[in-house]
Amino acid sequence: MTTPLALTQISRLARRASGTAAANRMVPEETPVAFSYGGTTHAVMMASPADLEDFALGFTLTEGIVDQPEEIEEISVEQAGTGFDIQIRLRDKANTRFEARRRRLAGPVGCGLCGIESIEEAMRSVDAVGQAPLTLTAGDVVQSVRMLSKLQPLHSETGAVHAAGFYVPGQGIVAAREDVGRHNALDKLAGALATRRIDGSTGAVVVTSRVSVEMVQKTAAIGSPVIIAVSAPTALAIRNADAAGMALVALVRGDDFDVFTHPERVNSGIAKHVA
C-alpha cells in the first residue's frame, strides 16, 4: 500500500483588505480509520492518514485493550474505500480477555440501566502515576511547548491539526505526532513511545489542545506523571489527574502557565497543593 498523503492543496478565494483573489492553500486530509480486532470492527475514528501503525498500537494500549505491546501479534493497515481498516491480531490470552470484554458490552442499551457498562467504561479509573519521580522546572514547562511548536510540519502547512509530544528534561521533545484529532495525536504518540521502548514515566506529555478526561486517561496509560497543555482543562480532567498523582499544567502562554494539580512536580515557586 502506498503511503497516504496527509495534505491536499486546494484553491480558494482569499479576501483581504487589499482585495479578493484566487489562491492555493494546503489543508489536512481527514479520513475514516477503523480498528478491527479478530476481523471485527471495534471503533472507527476520523483521523489524519499518517502514522497509522503508531495509531493502532497507541489506541490499543491507551484504551486498555492490551497492557503490553507484546500482547499484539500483528498490525496490518489495509485501504478500504475512502478510508483505512487496521487489522489488529491479539495473542491468545489478550484476545480471550478482549472477547470477554466485547461480549459484556454488547447488547441492548435502549432501556434504563442496560448501558451501565458503557458508562463505566467511559468513566474508567485512571492509572496511578504518583510513584514516578519526575519533576520539572518552570523553564522545562515553557521550553516543552516552544519545542513542540517547531515539530509540527502539518500544522505549519495548514494551521488545522493538533500535536502531542513527549518531553524529557535534558533531552527535549524526543517524539511528536500530529493529527486532526487531539485524542488521535496522543494515541499516535503512545504508539511511537511503545515502539521505541521509551519509558513513559521519564517525561511529560505535551499537547496543543484543551485537556479533557480522556487526555488524562491516555497520559496515565502512557505512564507519564505530567501533562502540559496550551489550553484549559475540564473539571473532570482535573479531578482525575489529582487522583492519579499527575501534575496537570495548562494555559501555557509564553512564560506564563497554571498548575492545577500536584504543583510539587513543577518547581515554579508554588508552595502547596492547589487542587
Catalytic residues: 111
Half-sphere exposure of 273 (CA within 13 A, CB side): 11
Contact 32, 77 (CB under 8 A): no
Rounded to whole angstroms, how far apart are CA atoms 49 and 238? Answer: 31
Question: Residues 6 or more apart from 240 whose CB is under 8 A from it?
Answer: 126, 213, 216, 217
**Count of residues in the chain:** 275
Return the SS3 of 225: coil
Question: Residues 6 or more apart from 254 whose CB is under 8 A from it?
Answer: 142
